[in-house]
Amino acid sequence: MRGARGGSHGKDNPPVESKRPPLRLFPLGTDPRQQGCAYWLEIGSYRLLLDCGLPASALLKALPGIPDAVICSHAHFDHVQGLPGFYRRYPQVPIYATPVTAHLASGLWERGIWPAYDREIRFPPFRALPFGQAREILPHLMLTFFAAGHLPGAAATLLQNTQTTPAQTCLYTGDCSLASTRFAPGLDLGALRHWQPDVLLIEASLGATHHPPRRQLENRLVERLFSALAAGQTVLFPLPVLGLGQELIFLLKAHHRFTQAAQELTVWVAPGLAAGCNLYERLLPYLPGPVRNFATYQALFWEDRLQPRVQPLTEADPLPQGLLLCDADAGPEAWDPIWSELLAQPQRSCLLVQLPEVKLATPLDQWPLPLRSRLEVEWLTWHSHNDVGHLTQIIHTFRPQHLVLVHANPQQAQDLADLPELCNRYHVHCPQPGHWLELADSRLQTLVKPSPFPSNPALRYEGEVEEIWQEHGSPRTLAGVQVRLPPQITEDPRWAAWAETGLVEAHWQGSELVLRGLSPRELIRPAKTTTPATGVPRPHQAPLPGSMKCHSCRFARQILTAHTQILRCDQERSPLYRLQVDPQGSCPYHQPLEIRSSG
C-alpha cells in the first residue's frame, strides 16, 4: 500500500512542517544464516527493495509487490544471490549499487562462482552511483551512498523523501565496520553525523559481544596458524570468496612470522577464492593507498618467489601440505577431492579452522564420518563487523527516532535491544521476516515552533545547592538536596524536552555532577532483575491492579498478524503511541475499558 504524496511549497512561502506518513518495513529475511537478507521499505509514495539476499525462488514468493527500485549494499552472496532471478522476472526495475559492488557481483557471476549458477540467466545491469553524490532516483526521492567498510564497495544507503518538510530520512547500513580493513576504509561517521535519520536500519551481526581490537585478534590468528604449520599439520581454513580471504592473504604476506619463517610456507587458494582475488587485482585504483603502494613492489596476492608462497590450487594438484584456504560457499562436489586425499592418508594430521561469522555451505555433519573422527576443529575469532562498542558509537552518533536491528539471529538482536543505553533512548525494533513494521513519526509535537538553539554553546546557568535537613525527631537527618537554577534557563528551547517529566537523574562525571532529564519512556520501562539461578537479566514489573494494565486500556488496539495478535497503543499522549505494548505494561495515560461504553 503506497503512502500519499506530500504537497509542494511555493518559493515565496516559507516551508510549513507537514504531516509525514509513517515509513513501513517488511523484512523478507533478516538472518544471513537462515534466510539471507532483504528488506521491503515503503517511504513516501515509493516501494524499495534493500538487497536481494534470498534465493530467487524464495525472494519472488516473499515479495509483497513490485518495487520501484532495488538497492544493493555490497557483493556478498547473502545480500545479492536473488538478483539474477529477480531481474529475469522484473527487468524494468532499476538496480542501484556502487561501481565496485557492480564489478565484484557481476564478475563472480560471469565466472560461475555463485551458488545455483544458471548460465541461461543474464546478470542484471547496475546503475552505478559513486560515494557521496546525492541522486534523485525517483521524483522527490534522493539516494546517497557512503563508504561502509566491511568490503570494497560496500555502501551505507541514505534515503530522503523530500515530499514532506522536513524530509523523511532512512539510513540502511548494510554490513558495515567502523574499523578500517586493509581493502576498505571504515564507516565515515564524520560525513554522516549531521543527518540524524528518522529510521536507522543497522546490522547487528555480533550481537552484544565485546571483542579485542582487530589487530590483536589478527596476531592471535597468525600465531595459531603458524604453530599448526610448524607442527606439520595441514590446515583447512574455509572463507567467503570475497572479503576475509583476501584480508588473510594480505595479512600473511606482510606479517613477520610468515615472511621470516625458517621453514618454507605455502598458502594454497581454492578456485572460488582465487577468482575473488583476481577481481580485487582489477580494482587496484579503488583500493586504499597502502595497498596500492604494496602492489607497486610485489604482486597483490600471487607469489612464487618470496615467503610465504601463495598459489591458486587447481584440480590437477594433489592436496598439498600447508595452509589451504577453502571456499566456504562450495558444495560437496568441490570438497570431494579434498576429502578423498585426506581419507587416503590417515596418518596426516589436519586442523579445520572456523570463524563464527563464516557459515559452511556444506556443514561439517555432511563430511565423511571417518574424516570427522580424526579432524581437529578449532574456532577462532576474527570478523569484519561491529562489536557492541562500535555499534553503540554509531547509533549514538546518528540519534535516530527508530532503531531497527537486522542481519542477526533473533537472540543476538534481542540482546542488543535490551541494552539500557539503547532501549532507554530510542524506539528499538527487532523485526521478524514476514511481519510488517510501521515506523511512525515520534517527534515531540509543539504548537509553537521553538526558537533556534543559543548561538553560544558555552552558555552556563549559575544556581545554588542547598541541603534539606529533617528537623523532626532525633537525631537530625539529611532529607535531600535541592538545586535552584535561574528562571532564564526555561527560555532555552531545549528546556521543554529536558524537563518534560519533572524528574532528573544525577551522576558523577569525574569531579563534576551531571544532571540529565528523564524521558517518559524511561519512567514506564520496567526495571530488570537478575535471576539468581542463571544470572540472566529478566524483566520485572511491580504488581499493578488489573484495571491499570495495557490489556484493559481503551487505547490498546488489537492487531491481527500472520501468526498472532499484538497490542498497539493508540493514545497520542503516551510515549508508547503507535508502538507494540506488553499486555502487562502500563503508562500514566491509562484509561479503563469502561469509558468506551459511556462515549
Whether 56 is in a domain gets the answer yes
Task: Looking at the structure, tell me whether residues 199 and 242 fall in a common domain.
Answer: no
Whether 145 is in a domain gets the answer yes
Task: Looking at the structure, tell me whether residues 223 and 201 fall in a common domain.
Answer: no
Whether 73 is in a domain gets the answer yes
Task: Looking at the structure, tell me whether residues 116 and 162 fall in a common domain.
Answer: yes
CATH number of the domain that residue 283 is part of? 3.40.50.10890
Residues 211-220 pLDDT 10s: 888 889 999 9
Hey, which of 69-78, 259-268, 335-344 has the most confident mean pLDDT? 69-78
Residues 39-67 pLDDT 10s: 999 999 999 999 999 999 999 999 999 99
Task: Looking at the structure, tell me whether residues 205 and 220 fall in a common domain.
Answer: no
Task: Looking at the structure, tell me whether residues 333 and 224 fall in a common domain.
Answer: yes
Q: Exposed e or buried b for every residue in 350-378, given b needs 16+ CB within 10 A?
A: bbbbbbebbbbbbeeeebeeebeeebeee
Mean pLDDT on 261-277: 91
Q: Is 126 helix (H, G, I), strand (E, B) or coil?
A: coil
CA distances from 551 to 52, 379, 390, 543, 559 (A): 39, 46, 38, 14, 13
Task: Looking at the structure, tell me whether residues 184 and 37 fall in a common domain.
Answer: yes
- Counting other chains too, the contacts that 209-213 makes at CB distance below 8 Å and 24 or more residues apart are 209/387, 209/388, 210/387, 210/388, 210/389, 211/381, 211/383, 211/387, 213/179
Q: Judge whether 269 and 253 are in contact, CB under 8 Å.
A: no
Give the helix, strand, coil percentages of the chain, each rounded to 5.
25, 25, 50
Percentage with pLDDT > 70 across the chain = 83
**Radius of gyration of the chain from Cα atoms?**
28
pTM score, two decimals?
Answer: 0.73
Range in 150-154, 379-383, 573-577 the model is least confident about: 573-577
Task: Looking at the structure, tell me whether residues 342 and 199 fall in a common domain.
Answer: no
Residue 268's DSSP bridge partners are 311, 324
Mean pLDDT on 337-358: 89
Question: Is 60 exceeded by the pLDDT of residue 184?
Answer: yes
Q: Exposed e or buried b for every residue in 234-254, given b needs 16+ CB within 10 A?
A: bbbbbbbbbbbbbbbbbbbbe
Show which of 310, 345, 379 is a domain's final residue.
379
| pLDDT value of position 26 | 96
Whether 304 is in a domain gets the answer yes
Residues 384-426 pLDDT 10s: 999 999 999 999 999 999 999 999 988 889 989 989 989 888 9
Helix axes 271-281, 99-110, angle to 10 degrees: 140
Largest pairwise CA distance in the chain: 95
Is the omega angle on the peptide bond into residue 475 within 30 degrees of 0, that is, cis?
A: yes
- In degrees to the nearest 10, what's the CA dihedral of 512, 518, 523, 525? -80
Task: Looking at the structure, tell me whether residues 323 and 227 fall in a common domain.
Answer: yes
| pLDDT value of position 569 | 82
CA distance 176 to 149: 5
Question: Is 90 exceeded by the pLDDT of residue 520?
Answer: no
Q: What is the mean pLDDT of the chain?
A: 83
Task: Give residue 453's pLDDT band: very low, low, confident or very high (50, 70, 90).
Answer: very low
CA distance 335 to 363: 11
Whether 365 is in a domain gets the answer yes
C-alpha cell, 266 = 605455502
Domain that holds residue 122: 24-210+385-430
Task: Looking at the structure, tell me whether residues 105 and 86 fall in a common domain.
Answer: yes
Closest by CA to 148, choosing from 219, 76, 217, is 76
CA distance 149 to 5: 35
Whether 483 is in a domain gets the answer no
Task: Looking at the structure, tell me whether residues 258 and 173 fall in a common domain.
Answer: no
Task: Give residue 594's pLDDT band: very low, low, confident or very high (50, 70, 90).
Answer: low
Closest by CA to 171, choosing from 497, 439, 444, is 439
Q: Are strands 38-43 and 69-71 parallel, antiparallel or unpaired?
A: unpaired
Q: Is 476 helix (H, G, I), strand (E, B) or coil?
A: coil
| pLDDT value of position 575 | 66
Q: Judge whether 158 and 137 are in contact, CB under 8 Å.
A: no
CA distances from 160 to 5, 43, 114, 465 (A): 14, 9, 33, 47
Q: How many residues does the chain have?
A: 599
Q: Judge whether 237 and 326 are in contact, CB under 8 Å.
A: yes
Task: Looking at the structure, tell me whether residues 192 and 287 fall in a common domain.
Answer: no
Task: Give residue 467's pLDDT band: very low, low, confident or very high (50, 70, 90).
Answer: confident
Task: Looking at the structure, tell me whether residues 314 and 391 fall in a common domain.
Answer: no
Whether 463 is in a domain gets the answer no
Task: Give residue 27's pLDDT band: very low, low, confident or very high (50, 70, 90).
Answer: very high
Cell 583447512, residue located: 236
Question: Is 70 exceeded by the pLDDT of residue 316?
Answer: no
Whether 455 is in a domain gets the answer no
Question: Is 80 exceeded by the pLDDT of residue 191?
Answer: yes
Mean pLDDT on 130-159: 95
Hey, which of 105-114, 456-465, 484-493 has the most confident mean pLDDT? 105-114
| pLDDT value of position 169 | 95
What domain count does the chain have?
Answer: 3
Residues 218-236 pLDDT 10s: 999 999 999 999 998 999 9
Question: Is 70 exceeded by the pLDDT of residue 88?
Answer: yes
